[in-house]
Amino acid sequence: MKDKHGFLLGEETVKIVIAVICIVFLVFLLVSIYFSVSGNQQSKEAEASLKNILVPEIERINVGGETRINGTIIPNPSGWYIFRFIEGDKKPNLCSGENCVCICQNIWINIFDRQIKACDNKGTCNVFSNLKKFDKIKIEKSGTFIAIQKINEFIYISKK
């Protein structure tokens, strides 16, 4: 006579394993959807910050306007960065081969030009021919103050 208790234990184990795999898959799917939606929102915020704040301020300084004493605040998207791509750098396609400033997510391990691809895919860029080199600037949760200066016909951007 066979022991039926051992056989039932095997069936229950298989059911539990399948249930855990399904739950993990559903969690992965929900997290993917969340980050897709929030990433789109941050891309819109980046474009708004660039087009409505940074570009007009650089253009104002470019035509002879004075640097603001308190700097200019870039409010969002928090956790993203302001990058520059100038002569000698590989550039995102959004820059059309020109010097440009971009707002996009930072890639921690930048191999195979992943930072450039991140700026192309979800970031936003604007061309400025007289842009000079500056370090990437993180946009903080409370906003980041930056200073924009024109020195010898070149635009310099720095964290305030």
pLDDT tops 60 at residue 4: no
- The reply to whether 10 falls in a domain is no
pLDDT surpasses 60 at 6: no
Helix, strand, coil percent values for the chain (each to nearest 5)? 45, 20, 35
Mean pLDDT of the chain: 84
120: containing domain: 45-159
Q: Tell whether 39 is covered by a domain.
A: no
Confidence of residue 138 (pLDDT cuts 50, 70, 90): very high
Side-chain-side CA neighbours of residue 51 (13 Å): 8
Give pLDDT, residue 87: 86
pTM here is: 0.71
Domain count, the chain: 1
Token pair in block for residue 44: 């819109």
Which uninterrupted H or E stretch holds 159? strand 154-159
The DSSP bridge partners found for residue 78 are none
Quote the strand ranges of 35-109, DSSP E.
72-74, 81-85, 100-104
The first and second tokens of residue 81, run together, are 């960065």
In a domain, 77, yes or no: yes
Is the residue at 40 inside a domain?
A: no
